[in-house]
């Protein structure tokens, strides 16, 4: 009999990012620049989840992100959970935290901002972490969660 | 302040402002000097602003400095497609200080990061125009003899007007009581009211002029801009509802002064001009002294 269940296999060593909202899935991939990596990875989205209804999950073999890199995904997936896997065991569980400063991930929503017309790495100060709100260090205008576009 | 760029009003501290105001007073007493002999100041105006440019150039000339630059981007290499990055890198080699006006917001901050010489922001889009704020402070101090404990009315477009936002931020350090008079759609944005509440300062909002203006030490008028309205009839109605007329000033305080960053359209009736409480034209002259003070402080010449 054919096994009809496609299993998302466990990884030996690496990072599992769970509880990603499906609408943030591709943004998470973009923020972590996964397209640049040669490692084995399993990516799944619109999977059933008791907590979120639907969720996405990312399993990355032999990849361990420094805090400052992984925290970037908090902008789009604040409820994401990290499991650090060593030798098939979860050795550490972490939540992501929104950093105080955001450098080079988000586009400033102000069309008249200089960062949208010259080649400039965008820089924002996080003014609110609850409803993520960013203040551009250049034009001093606010980019809110609904208008946040990941570069 | 030496070698420090002035991009936003928040770049300088309260004691920095006060030093600049004192210095401006000394330039008012003795406007002409040779302090800037041998110095070259670049005035890069990527969009025209005749008033601001002439004020800066007058300030430089009175101190014996030289000016290079352009008065709108059509006479610069921008038309050839040069980036701001390149323009600033190149011009940094030619001068001791850059004064820049640019239509894009954040351009002055960006320029200050690239330039090897200090940058003074002479307006970056709708964002900041700190030398205007300092000249407003100077005008207030000069006419009231102090900055502390005053009652300041702001009238007109309080939503988009960058001059009122910067002035509010600066005056919020001097225990000011604020009154805002504006149409509903051009009200003072929440973020500034939050700032005042955090600082424990009083503010009151009004839809119209009432007798309340008799409490004012300063009335700061702004232009209601046509481009803020999608409906031209609504614009006309709003514009005409906020006109300040001479007869309204009858019972106002002796020390009241009316300020306006200019240009005005019709928000101050011409019949106010003869009233000694009208101060907007003298305010312009103060702009030259304050810019002399800012330039010489940043170049470390005083």
Residue A8: inside a domain, yes or no? no
A21, two tokens: 């909202």
Strand order in the sheet with A53-61: A41-49, A53-61, A14-20, A81-86, A89-95
Residues B123 and B228: their CA atoms lie apart, in Å, by: 19
Residue B2: inside a domain, yes or no? no
Instruction: Return the residue in B89, B103, B105, B169 with the most chain A beta carbons within 10 A, the one to mutate for interface testing.
Output: B105
Residues of chain A with confidence (pLDDT) below 50: none
> Nearest CA to CA, how far is A112 from chain B (Å)?
5
- The helix (run of H) or strand (run of E) holding residue B196 is helix B190-199
Q: B 6-25 residues with CB below 8 A of A? A: 8
For residue B127, give the 3-state DSSP assignment: coil
> Nearest CA to CA, how far is B83 from chain A (Å)?
7
A135: containing domain: 101-150
Q: pLDDT at position B62, please?
A: 97
Looking at the structure, tell me whether residues A91 and A105 fall in a common domain: no
Residues A26 and A45: their CA atoms lie apart, in Å, by: 9
Contact call for residues A112 and B125 (beta carbons, < 8 A): yes
Looking at the structure, tell me whether residues B113 and B163 fall in a common domain: no
Residue B1: inside a domain, yes or no? no
Among B39, B43, B52, B239, the one annotated catalytic: B52
Looking at the structure, tell me whether residues B88 and B206 fall in a common domain: no
Looking at the structure, tell me whether residues A64 and A88 fall in a common domain: yes
Looking at the structure, tell me whether residues B109 and B125 fall in a common domain: yes
Q: pLDDT at position A7, please?
A: 54
> Nearest CA to CA, how far is A113 from chain B (Å)?
5
Among B80, B247, B250, B251, the one annotated catalytic: B80
Q: A 104-133 residues with CB below 8 A of B? A: 108, 110, 112-115, 117-120
Whether A115 sits inside 8 A of B106 (CB atoms) is yes
Catalytic status, residue B133: no
The CATH number that applies at residue B187 is 3.40.50.1370
Nearest-by-CA chain A residue for B127: A139
Among B2, B10, B50, B51, the one annotated catalytic: B51
> Nearest CA to CA, how far is B106 from chain A (Å)?
4
Looking at the structure, tell me whether residues B248 and B161 fall in a common domain: yes
Looking at the structure, tell me whether residues A22 and A70 fall in a common domain: yes
Task: For chain B, report the end-to-end CA distance as a whole number of angstroms.
Answer: 11
Nearest-by-CA chain B residue for A141: B127
**Residue B211 C-alpha from the chain's centroid:** 28
Sign of dihedral through CA atoms B57, B61, B63, B68?
positive
Among B39, B53, B101, B223, the one annotated catalytic: B101
Catalytic status, residue B29: no
Residues B15 and B149: their CA atoms lie apart, in Å, by: 17
Contact call for residues B242 and B215 (beta carbons, < 8 A): no
Contact call for residues B266 and B284 (beta carbons, < 8 A): no
The CATH number that applies at residue A81 is 3.30.70.140
Q: pLDDT at position A146, please?
A: 85
Contact call for residues B4 and B118 (beta carbons, < 8 A): yes
Angle at B196 between CA B192 and CA B201, to 5 degrees: 155
Omega of the bond leading into B23 within 30 degrees of 0 (cis)? no
B165: containing domain: 131-284
Contact call for residues B229 and B235 (beta carbons, < 8 A): yes
Looking at the structure, tell me whether residues B118 and B239 fall in a common domain: no
Return the closest-CA partner of residue B292 out of B26, B14, B7: B26
Q: Which residues touch B215 (CB under 8 Å, ≥6 apart)?
A: B151, B179, B253
Residue A1: inside a domain, yes or no? no
Q: pLDDT at position A3, please?
A: 55
Looking at the structure, tell me whether residues B141 and B94 fall in a common domain: no
> Nearest CA to CA, how far is B161 from chain A (Å)?
14
pLDDT (tens digit, 0 to 9) for every residue of chain B, 302 residues total?
Answer: 888 999 999 999 999 999 999 999 999 999 999 999 999 999 999 999 988 999 999 999 999 999 999 998 887 777 778 999 999 999 999 999 999 999 999 999 999 999 999 999 999 998 999 999 999 999 999 999 999 999 999 999 999 888 999 999 999 999 999 999 999 889 999 989 999 999 999 999 999 998 999 999 999 999 988 877 888 888 888 888 899 999 999 999 999 999 999 889 899 999 999 999 999 999 999 999 999 999 999 999 97
The CATH number that applies at residue A132 is 2.30.30.20
Residue A5: inside a domain, yes or no? no
Whether B127 sits inside 8 A of A139 (CB atoms) is yes
Q: pLDDT at position B37, please?
A: 96
Residue A52: inside a domain, yes or no? yes
Burial of B38 (0-12, 13-18, 19+ CB in 10 A): exposed
Write the DSSP symbol of residue B117.
Answer: S
Nearest-by-CA chain A residue for B81: A118
Residue B3: inside a domain, yes or no? no
B176, two tokens: 């000011």
B160 close to A (CB below 8 A): no
Contacts of B124 in chain A (CB under 8 A): 114, 139
- The helix (run of H) or strand (run of E) holding residue A112 is none
Going by their DSSP bridges, the two strands A106-107 and A149-150 should be labelled as antiparallel
Looking at the structure, tell me whether residues A27 and A48 fall in a common domain: yes
Whether B105 sits inside 8 A of A139 (CB atoms) is yes
Number of separate domains in chain B: 2
B292, two tokens: 């002399």
Looking at the structure, tell me whether residues A75 and A114 fall in a common domain: no
Contact call for residues A28 and A80 (beta carbons, < 8 A): yes
Number of separate domains in chain A: 2
Whether B105 sits inside 8 A of A138 (CB atoms) is yes
Q: pLDDT at position B231, please?
A: 86
- CA R_g for chain A: 17
Looking at the structure, tell me whether residues B209 and B256 fall in a common domain: yes
Residue B230: inside a domain, yes or no? yes
A136 close to B (CB below 8 A): yes
Looking at the structure, tell me whether residues A64 and A115 fall in a common domain: no
Contact call for residues B141 and B147 (beta carbons, < 8 A): yes
Instruction: Return the residue in A131, A139, A143 with the most chain B beta carbons within 10 A, the one to mutate for interface testing.
Output: A139
Whether B85 sits inside 8 A of A141 (CB atoms) is no
Contact call for residues A81 and A18 (beta carbons, < 8 A): yes
Contact call for residues B235 and B224 (beta carbons, < 8 A): yes
């Amino acid at each position: 009999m054919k096994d009809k269940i496609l299993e998302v296999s466990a990884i030996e060593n690496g990072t599992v990012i769970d509880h990603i909202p499906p609408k943030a899935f591709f943004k998470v991939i973009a923020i972590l620049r996964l397209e640049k990596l040669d490692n084995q990875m399993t990516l799944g989205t619109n999977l059933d989840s008791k907590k979120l209804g639907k969720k996405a999950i990312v399993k990355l073999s032999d990849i361990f992100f420094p805090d400052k890199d992984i925290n970037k995904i908090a902008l789009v997936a604040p409820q994401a959970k990290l499991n650090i896997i060593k030798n098939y065991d979860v050795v550490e569980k972490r939540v992501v935290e929104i950093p105080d400063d955001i450098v080079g991930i988000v586009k400033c929503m102000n069309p008249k901002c200089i960062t949208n017309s010259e080649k400039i790495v965008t820089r924002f100060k996080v003014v609110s972490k609850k409803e993520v709100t960013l203040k551009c260090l250049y034009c001093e205008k606010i980019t809110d969660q609904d208008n946040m576009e990941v570069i | 302040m030496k070698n420090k760029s002035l991009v936003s009003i928040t770049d300088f501290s309260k004691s920095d402002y006060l030093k600049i105001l004192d210095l401006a007073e000394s330039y008012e007493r003795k406007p002409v000097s040779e302090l800037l002999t041998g110095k070259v100041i670049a005035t890069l105006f990527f969009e025209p602003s005749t008033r601001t440019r002439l004020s800066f150039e007058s300030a430089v000339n009175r101190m014996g400095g030289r000016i290079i630059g352009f008065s709108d981007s059509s006479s610069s290499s921008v038309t050839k497609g040069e980036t701001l990055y390149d323009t600033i890198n190149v011009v940094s080699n030619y001068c001791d200080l850059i004064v820049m006006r640019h239509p894009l917001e954040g351009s002055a901050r960006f320029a200050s990061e690239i330039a090897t010489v200090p940058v003074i922001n002479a307006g970056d889009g709708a964002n900041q125009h700190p030398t205007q704020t300092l000249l407003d402070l100077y005008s207030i101090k000069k006419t009231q003899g102090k900055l502390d404990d005053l009652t300041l009315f702001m009238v007109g477009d309080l939503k988009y007007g960058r001059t009122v936002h910067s002035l509010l931020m600066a005056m919020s350090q001097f225990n000011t009581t604020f009154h805002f008079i504006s149409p509903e759609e051009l009200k003072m944005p929440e973020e500034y009211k939050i700032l005042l509440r955090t600082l424990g300062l009083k503010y009151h909002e009004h839809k119209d002029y009432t007798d309340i203006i008799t409490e004012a030490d300063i009335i700061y008028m702004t232009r209601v801009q046509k481009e803020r309205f999608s409906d031209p009839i609504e614009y006309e109605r709003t514009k005409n509802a906020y006109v300040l007329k001479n007869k309204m000033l009858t019972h106002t305080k002796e020390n009241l002064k009316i300020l306006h960053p200019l240009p005005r359209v019709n928000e101050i009736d011409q019949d106010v001009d003869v009233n000694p409480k009208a101060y907007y034209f003298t305010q312009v002259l103060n702009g030259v002294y304050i810019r002399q003070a800012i330039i010489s402080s940043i170049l470390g010449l005083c």
